[in-house]
Amino acid sequence: MLEKKERRDKINYYLDLAEVVSQRSTCLRRRFGAVIVKNDVVISTGYSGAPRGRQNCTDLGHCIREKMNIPRGERYELCRSVHAEANAIICASRADMIGSTMFLVGIEVGSGNYVESANSCSMCKRMLINSGIDNLYVRDSKNEYRLIGISDWVEDDESIVGTMGY
């Protein structure tokens, strides 16, 4: 008789996919992976890394933001990487993204732990708002996650009050 195996819930399944995608990241600080899903179909994936053709931080062996002691969530214009969310959005059509969901996972390179209180930076938030994606699930642990309604970021506009970080 076959033993009945418990099936992984769908949200964690897609977060698991985003975690696998994050393994392609070339950031020396944090590996992020993103997956866009609509109607149970994966539309796009993205991970953090330098633009096509440019050297990655892993190739250079250093991170300019780390060298300059820039805190997490600040001065992303200095970062070599295109963020996972942006890469996933770039690779999908807006028509496919309208009403979809993004799943996001971040892993600390040094410890292998999940990024504490991970969230999208202000630039990625703006892209997510314009993309038509409805919801974002962010992994906090192997089985725990947060659901963020993208429309909340329209009302909670950190750029008006100058909030830094994420």
Instruction: Determine the pLDDT at residue 71.
Output: 86
3-state secondary structure of 155: helix
Backbone angles phi, psi at 44, to 5 degrees: -165, 160
Q: Residue 79 corresponds to which tokens in the numbers above?
A: 């970062």
Report, as ranges of residue numbers, the positions in the chain whose pLDDT lies below 50: none
- Give the mean pLDDT of the chain: 92
The pTM score is 0.92
Instruction: Determine the pLDDT at residue 163.
Output: 66
140 contacts: CB under 8 Å, gap ≥ 6? 114, 118, 146
For residue 125, how far is the Cα from the chain centroid? Answer: 10
Instruction: Determine the pLDDT at residue 98.
Output: 97
**Residue 63: count of CB within 10 angstroms of its CB:** 19
**Interatomic CA distance for residues 124 and 93, integer angstroms:** 16
